Amino acid sequence: GNRRIWRGMEGGQREMEREGVRGEGWKGDRGVERRWRGEGRGWRRMEGAWPVPMGSHPTPPGSSWTCRAVLGDGHQRTVRRVAWSPCGSYLASASFDGTTCIWKRQEDGFECVATLEGHENEVKSVAWAPSGSLLATCSRDKSVWVWEVDEEEEYECVSVLNTHTQDVKHVVWHPSQELLASASYDDTVRLYREEEDDWVCCATLEGHDSTVWAVAFDKEGERLASVSDDRTLRVWRRYHPGNQEGVACSGTDPTWKCVCTLSGYHSRTIYDVSWCHLTGALATACGDDAIRVFEESPTNFPSIQSSLSNLTLHCSASVLRTSVEAEPSRRKRPRVSFSRHMSLMALAVFPVSFLE
């Protein structure tokens, strides 16, 4: 199983163990609200449905972590993001100092083999393409840079993309294609691909009302999830030219349409999203101190035509506040809205008002 040691914070040193569960176990936790807090400073521990024993437990063998290296001289300012190369031999670090360092794993540590310069100010994100020969970086300077690395470990910038109109927060590669996605302070998500020795923006996903902080592709790469300062999680689907749903495409590029918007689940900015390629579950990181897991299940409603794809999302595990009963007026009922295109349903743990 997946074991995790939770440590209390702020003076609390309680160690808790949780059996990682998936599938049935997670569904069983549907709607359970719990909060883990350390002792001291007004925090307290609440009970929940997770099968967690009270008191501390001995550390299981093989699960202790040691600090192997401190790479303290590479950057002059905050290191914002790190990313391992697909082969595992390299580590990229993106910094507010405007540079991205490439570290190569050695026997006794790591050596900085390249420093990628060019961004005018803070680099916010770095990501390796699955092939391992491409890297992308993005910055507050509004640009996305694509870098190529050759067999001699030489890095070269092959494209500077200036299509966003504001700070770019996050870049992510498609799981299997050389397709790049970026999330921006300009409230959009953009997609890029290579075209004749250069990179072009092939799609712009509009819909969020504020900064998009992160995006994640699903396993097949036909869907993308985005999260925003507007407190919604959106799922977008790719429609290829000639698709049977009748979605128009311009030229040979696929069109992306927002097929699901989850509102009312997050009470503050959502900073990150992760799409599990094994289970299909979506996890979000929110400024309201909670992690939420959303799962998709096959439709239970036989009346829906099977030719249309059905997206049912429910919040299967969530840490939400229940200690204070918020006034109904302060708390929006969670809502899921669908594109008119698709016959989609969402099943929510919490009362959901279905929209037309």
Partner 1 sequence: RAMEHDRAIEVYDIIRTIRDPEKPNTLEELDVVTEGGVEVQEIAEDEYLVIIRFTPTVPHCSLATLIGLCLRIKLQRCLPFRHKLEIYISEGTHSTEEDINKQINDKERVAAAMENPTLREIVEQCVTEPE
Contacts with partner 1 by CB under 8 A lie at: 42, 77-78, 96, 122, 124, 140, 167, 169, 185, 210-211, 229, 267-268, 287-288, 321, 323-324, 326, 330
Q: Between 10 and 111, name the residue whose CB sits nearer to partner 1.
A: 10
Shorter beta-carbon distance to partner 1: residue 40 or 109? 40
The nearer residue to partner 1, 4 or 331, going by C-beta atoms, is: 331
Instruction: Give CA–CA dist 191/173, Å, rounded.
Output: 9
Per-residue H/E/C for 118-170: CCCCCEEEEEECCCCCEEEEEECCCCEEEEEECCCCCEEEEEEECCCCCCEEE
Q: In this structure, which amino acid lies at residue 168?
A: V
- Residue 26, helix vs strand vs coil: helix
CB of 321 to partner 1, least distance (A): 4
Nearer to partner 1, 185 or 256 (CB): 185
Q: Which two tokens stand for residue 116?
A: 């990628």
Residue ranges in the chain assigned as alpha helix (H): 24-28
CB of 315 to partner 1, least distance (A): 18
Least distance to partner 1, CB of residue 140, Å: 7
DSSP for 305-353, written as a single string: -TTS----EEEEEE----SS---TTTSPPPEEEE-SSS------SS--E
With tokens 């007026």, the residue in question is 329
Report helix, strand and coil shares of the chain as percent, to nearest 5.
Answer: 0, 40, 55
According to DSSP, the β-strands at 223-228 and 212-217 are antiparallel
Q: Which is nearer to partner 1, 224 or 320 (CB)?
A: 320
State which residue, 148 or 288, has the beta carbon closest to partner 1: 288
Of the candidates 28, 30, 25, which has an alpha carbon nearest to the alpha carbon of residue 2? 25
Q: Least Å distance between CB 243 and partner 1?
A: 36
Do β-strands 335-338 and 353-354 pair in parallel, antiparallel, or remain unpaired? Answer: parallel
Q: How far is the CB of 79 from partner 1 (least distance, A)?
A: 12
Residue placing its CB nearer to partner 1 in the complex, 194 or 288: 288
CB atoms within 10 A of CB 139: 25
Nearer to partner 1, 198 or 209 (CB): 209
Q: Which two tokens stand for residue 283?
A: 């996890």
What is the closest distance, in whole angstroms, from the C-beta atom of residue 48 to partner 1 in the complex?
16
Cβ(316)–Cβ(295) under 8 Å? yes
Smallest distance, partner 1 to C-beta of residue 291, A: 16
Nearer to partner 1, 78 or 300 (CB): 78
Tokens (6 digits) for 356: 């037309």
Look at residue 28 and give its three-state secondary structure: helix
